[in-house]
Homo-oligomer: A and B are copies of this chain.
Amino acid sequence: MRDSKEARAMGRASKREDIAEAAFQQFHARGFNATGINDITKAAGVPKGSFYNHFSSKEESALEALSRYADSLRFDMLTAPGSPPLDRLRAHFEFLSRDVLDNGFVRGCLVGNFGAEVADHSEEIRSAAKRGFDGWAERLRQLLTEAQEAGDLKDSLDAETTALFILSAWEGALIAARVDKSAAPVEAFFRTVFEVVLR
Contact = CB atoms under 8 A, between A and B. Distances in A.
Interface of A: 29-31, 33-34, 106-108, 111-113, 115-117, 119-121, 126, 129-130, 133, 157-158, 161-162, 164-165, 167-173, 175-176, 178-181, 184-185, 187-189, 191-192, 196-197
Contacts of A196: 157, 162, 196-197
17 contacts: A31-B117, A113-B117, A116-B117, A119-B178, A133-B180, A157-B196, A164-B185, A165-B185, A165-B189, A167-B176, A168-B175, A168-B176, A168-B189, A169-B172, A169-B173, A172-B173, A196-B196
Nearest to A173: B168
Contacts of A179: 111, 115, 119, 126, 129-130, 133
Nearest to A166: B192
Contacts of A121: 30, 34
B188 A165 contact: yes
Contacts of A126: 178-179, 181
A112 B165 contact: no
B185 A120 contact: no
Given A168-B172, A171-B172, A197-B192, A178 B117 contact: no
Contacts of A111: 179
Contacts of A107: 120
B178 A164 contact: no
Contacts of A170: 172
A89 to B, nearest CB: 15
